Amino acid sequence: MTLSPRSSRAPQKRPVTRGAARPAASGPSIWQQGNDLFWKIVPFKVETIEKALTVLTIIVIAGSVLAAAIYAGIPQAVGQEIGQMAGRAGFKVKRVDVKGLNRMDSLTVYAVALDQQSIAMPLVDLDKVRGQLLQYGWIGDARISRRWPDTLVVDILERKPAAVWQNNQRLVLIDGSGVILEMVDPRAIPDLPLVIGPNANQRVEGLFKLLNMSPALKPNFAGATWVGNRRWDIRFESGEILALPEGNDLAANALKNFARIETNQHLLGRGFVRFDMRDPTKFVVRLRHPATDAPATAPATDGAIVGTAAPPTSSTPEAAPSPAQDQ
């Protein structure tokens, strides 16, 4: 068998066809640039923010679970049981220490403090006790606290009586803001100013403010009548009545003028019955025993009394109210 000799020619290299040249790599995208700029500005590391987000997620989940438990009443039930266990261990109310009580019956305070669903110390509703006590007129404020292991402390701030209010043939004791404290026995009326008339208790705070503007008249002040739901008639210890005008400012000015005139002329206790200052431009007086048919008048700012006459009863502008009658 004849073999053909190998070709002595070197193998021919095939031309390699190269593809089109790839474009040069471009710079970072706008998104990447913005992301890099953001992390350069923010003073926190990525790891820190990731941890914060993880903690926030845990808090949200825990809050949702707790809210569901509260809605189902589980914490209240657990708290009630813990409180009952404390009560069975001896931590229950055995004493009530009442402080600051002078006029109100202490048995009422004890009854309110012990009116509880459970006397276990942790389960006593302090806000409920305070709210019930504040419904009583004598109690202006109350502070309730626990003194472990077995005592409730009730610290009372009592209201101070300031006047007796007469209305619809009833007498009641009121404080300086008009709050009703208790009924008054007509046979044992306390030595306090007597205010008369419908809604007079609601106006007594303003009355005392008027008197504080003219302190020289306060020692002679016996009471006042709220007339027509619009103005005051002031009564003095010596029996005279001062008719004030309507309006707080006019009434205050009239009372100041009368105090000045009283300081100069000493009108009280000299037989006058009524001083009428309802008209800011006039000062009209009436004697106990009329002498003529003409009233004595003087300018309200002169500080002097002209004459001593008084008008007859038929011409009196407004009859002076009796302290024993309602207006």
Assess whether 209 and 288 both reside in one domain. Answer: yes
Residue 254 lies in a domain: yes
CATH number at residue 144: 3.10.20.310
| Residues facing residue 234 across a β-bridge | 224, 242
Fill in the DSSP letter of residue 60: H
pLDDT for the residue numbered 309: 38
Q: Is residue 326 part of a domain?
A: no
The pLDDT tens digits of the residues spanning 155-213 come to 999 999 999 999 999 999 999 999 999 999 999 999 999 999 999 999 999 999 999 99
Looking at the fold, whether 66 and 117 belong to one and the same domain comes out as no
Q: Using pLDDT thresholds of 50, 70 and 90, give the confidence band for residue 318.
A: very low
Residue 72 in any domain: the answer is: yes
pLDDT digits (tens, 9 = 90+) for 84-98: 555 566 678 899 999
pLDDT at 322: 41
pLDDT at residue 65, rounded to an integer? 57
Q: Which of 117, 143, 158 is the last residue of a domain?
A: 158
Average pLDDT for residues 226-232, to the nearest whole number?
A: 97
Lowest-pLDDT range, 6-10, 82-86, 122-126, 271-275?
6-10
- Alpha-carbon distance 160 to 222, whole Å? 18
**Does one domain contain both 204 and 134?**
no
Instruction: Tell me the pLDDT tens digit for each residue of 279-296.
Output: 999 999 998 875 554 455
Instruction: Verify that 245 and 191 share a domain, yes or no.
Output: yes
The DSSP bridge partners found for residue 120 are 92
Q: Please provide the average confidence, as pLDDT, over all residues in the chain.
A: 79
Using CA atoms, how far residue 263 sits from 1, 181, 233, 297, 301, in Å, is 165, 36, 20, 18, 14
Q: What is the largest CA-CA distance in the chain?
A: 182
What range defines the domain where residue 212 resides? 161-315
Residues 136/137/139/145 CA torsion (nearest 10 deg): 20
* pLDDT attached to residue 77: 55
Residue 23 inside a domain? The answer is no
Domains in the chain: how many in total? 3
Residue 284 has a pLDDT of 94
Task: Name the domain boundary from 24, 50, 82.
Answer: 82
Determine, yes or no, domain membership for 102.
Answer: yes
Mean of pLDDT values over 66-95: 61
Is the pLDDT confidence value at 76 over 60? no
Is 35 among the domain residues?
no
Residue 71 shares a structural domain with residue 137: no
The whole-number pLDDT of residue 320 equals 39
Is there a domain that residue 269 lies in? yes
Lowest mean pLDDT among 58-62, 155-159, 163-167, 318-322: 318-322
Clarify whether residues 170 and 256 are in a common domain: yes
Question: Residues 107-159: pLDDT tens digits?
Answer: 999 999 999 888 888 889 999 999 999 999 999 999 999 998 999 999 999 99
* CATH number of 248's domain: 3.40.50.11690
Rg of the chain over Cα atoms, rounded to whole angstroms, equals 45
> Comparing 324 with 89, which gets the higher pLDDT?
89
71 CB contacts (<8 Å, ≥6 apart)?
none
200-213 helix and 248-265 helix, angle to the nearest 10 degrees: 50
Which residue is associated with the tokens 């202006």? 140
Question: Which pLDDT value is given to residue 307?
Answer: 40
Tell me if 109 sits within 8 A of 99, measured CB to CB: no
- Is there a domain that residue 287 lies in? yes
Q: Which of 31-40, 254-263, 286-295, 301-310 has the lowest mean pLDDT?
A: 301-310
Q: Are residues 55 and 113 in the same domain?
A: no
Residues 108 and 136 in one domain: yes
Least confident of 7-16, 187-196, 267-276: 7-16
Residues 282 and 242 in one domain: yes
